[in-house]
Structure 1
Amino acid sequence: MKINVVGSSGSGKSTLSQRLAKTLDVPYIQLDQLFWRPHWQGTPDEAFFAKLQAALESAPDGWVLDGNFNRTRDIKWREVDMIVWLDYGFWRTSWQGFKRAVVRIKSREELWPGTGNRETFRQTFLSRDSILLWMLTHWRSNRWRYFDDSIDARYRHINFIRLTHPDEADALIKYLAAQQAQSTSPTAPMY
């Protein structure tokens, strides 16, 4: 199965994507990791698209892709089976994003191996490039964009799953785990 988890920053895309990849026993691919280079420099689109295409092709039997990057749609949705849209409420998403930022600032965690990129207090709370500011100003437009995508005839071949609460994410994991177990269980020989 090929799944793209989308939603606003802070909604829990990475956490859910990793859980889905583990449940389905497929590779986890993070768009941010493909895009960001050292010193918070983005990868030019041509190279970014090539990296994304190579990552998807390296897992022909299935993958879970974590991230939005609207301009990658033609690549990432070409063969996708399911879009899992985390559409949690504004306050939940804001709180999750805030908590995540504080934890990352305190831990000095490198966000993507080899980049040296870490969240800082200044960047998170005092910058026009703040991920929190981006989330606050784009939360509503992201919701409309994914709603429009879910009813767009061009994407009729994709199963859109809209989750509005973490309990629904847990239910999806259980459902897919049961489906996975059923598809991998040996069948009794027919006599």
Structure 2
Amino acid sequence: MQRVLIIGPCGAGKSTLAAELGRTLDLSVYHMDQLNWRPGWIESSKDEIRAWLATITASDRWLIDGNYGGTLDARLARADTVVYLDFPIRLCAWRVLRRIWTYRGRTRPDMTEGCPERFDLEFFLYLLAWNSGPRLRTEERLREYGGRVVRLRNPAALREWRASLDKATA
């Protein structure tokens, strides 16, 4: 695994896994949320994001976490492995609410400084609609992807996979 994407619903634990996996595999970690958001919750332009991603994905070793469907095809074209945290939405919704409470008013580690955690109804509704929209588009893109997909359906499967990976890299 040299060029890795971590995808899945909001709250699945993509950024947490990215930090752990980056250390394990000695890969530079890039969070799509940090590429997308500027301080004050101002979105970067699509051209800016594409330019940053072109530079990142041109290198031989990287790990990128986040969905951002508008850039997924370009990232998939260079990735050798996709880790898909395909967790139940009710678990993800609970984790998002816990994250909001834990970091309320502060910037979480995987987010751009100056973007304090807050409840956003539109974001929460996006998560609740994952199975009927974003999941379908993600599944379609993965069917066309020719690399390795590691689909993990719950935290226990993730722990088991991580343990096997840790043994393999030890």
Shorter chain as normaliser: what TM range?
0.7 to 0.9
- Would you say the 8 A contact 1:31–1:65 is kept in 2? yes
Q: Could you say what secondary structure the match of 2:22 adopts?
A: helix
CA distance 1:150–1:8, change in 2 (3 Å): same
What's 1:158 paired with? 147
Partner of 1:109: 106
Cα displacement (A) at 1:128: 4.5
Deviation at 1:98, TM superposition (A): 1.0
For residue 149 of structure 2, give the secondary structure of its aligned residue in structure 1. strand
Q: When the two structures are aligned, how many residues end up with a matched partner?
A: 167
Q: Which residue of 2 aligns with 1:145?
A: 137
Structure 1: which amino acid aligns with 2:148?
N
**Aligned partners of 2:131 and 2:73: how far apart in 1?**
23
- For structure 1, list consecutive stretches of 5 or more residues without a partner in the other structure: 182-191
Quote the sequence identity (%): 26
* TM-score, scaled relative to structure 1: 0.79
Q: With structure 2 as the length reference, what TM-score do the two structures score? A: 0.88
Larger Rg: 1
CA distance in 2: counterparts of 1:93 and 1:23, whole angstroms: 24
Superposition RMSD on alpha carbons, in Å? 1.8
**CA distance in 2: counterparts of 1:85 and 1:16, whole angstroms:** 11
Question: Could you list the runs of 5+ residues in structure 2 that have no partner in the other structure?
Answer: none
Residues 41 and 180 of structure 1: CA distance in aligned 2, closer, same or farther (over 3 Å): same
Secondary structure of the residue aligned to 2:78 is coil
The reply on whether 1:50 has 2:42 as its aligned counterpart is: no
2:89, 2:130 within 8 Å by CA — same for their partners in 1? no
Aligned: 1:96 with 2:95: yes
